Amino acid sequence: MQKNINYMADHLKQLTSIASPTGYTEEIVKYCENVLRVKGISTKVTNKGALLATIPGENNDRQRLLTAHLDTLGAMVKEIKADGKLRLSLIGGFIFNSVEGEYCQVHTVDNGPVSGTILMHQASVHVYKGAGESKRNEENIVVRLDEVLSNKEDVINLGIQVGDFVSFAPRYEETESGYIKSRHLDDKASAAVLMHMLEVIQEEQIRLPYTTHFYFSNNEEIGYGANASIPANTEEFVAVDMGAIGDGQTSTEHDVSICAKDSSGPYHAGLKNHMVSLAKENKISYQVDIYPYYGSDASAAIKAGFDIKHALIGPGIDASHSYERTHTDSLLHTYRLLMSYIKSEMLS
């Protein structure tokens, strides 16, 4: 099992190192495509820019699909201020407090990335009285660029313009106790699990009972990730995404989370119960949870009108949409449950 953990952690470290805010995912999709193709896995990039990998199974008439998303939270340049600092427009559902003080990259169209730091305009307590009480919002949070400049024209000359993407430094770290802390574990932790599953299936020549698709989506953080290009014979659709941890939640960093309901409503009861049964049978540590302010690629597919049974499972992630943390236990239990699932019989 340690070998599985090491491979997943290696994938996760690499994935978090590639900037991929929603709308700026071409590089990470290309990376995953290349890794899988080298291993002989059939892939396809959709018109929306997502990646679809397919493992043929004994039964091709009934099919399954697992999805994790490669896109992350991020921002765009909203305004270049007269003093050379930048105002931001957020991509995804998070609060400015969660990125205050973070290093970032502004991805210019022609001149490559420019580094900076996300700060309050009123950052200096020696200058701004009551700086701690100032609101962390679009008006006050700015990007201080690491270039010699003093005005708006200097910034424009760097190649920076309104609409450029801004990514946040991941600060990936693994501890000796097994914790992994980084930005963008949502949902690159799940993507790392799926990448490793594909490796194992291919290398061990595991024959699956049903053709199974692995869908790496690229628009989940804005609500419409894997809701198109779903193969016609797909009957069961499993979103692999984080289990949110907090007050009133059962999810932990040491279990696989199985979602019963989120803001879109209940997930398919039979498929959820099947996941629970598989976890019990295989002695996999799990928790069933409800996420009140959450939606997944599976719920997006249901809203798009696909006639599928949908489920949501994934590793437990602390401090979701902030500086996140999980444990290798959770990655392993997620991997084991998914491997058990794709080898099991489909619901009737």
Active site residues: 220
The secondary structure of the chain, three-state, reads CHHHHHHHHHHHHHHHCCCCECCCCHHHHHHHHHHHHHCCCEEEECCCCCEEEEECEEEEEEEEEEEEECCECEEEEEEECCCCCEEEEEECCCCHHHHCCCEEEEECCCCCEEEEEEEECCCCCCCCCCHHHCCCCCCCEEEEECCCCCCHHHHHHCCCCCCCEEEECCCCEECCCCEEEECCHHHHHHHHHHHHHHHHHHHCCCCEEEEEEEEEECCHHHCCCCCCCCCCCEEEEEEECCEECCCCCCCCCCCEEEEEEECCEECCHHHHHHHHHHHHHCCCCEEEEECCCCCCHHHHHHHCCCCCEEEEEEEEEECCCCCEEEEHHHHHHHHHHHHHHHHCCCCC
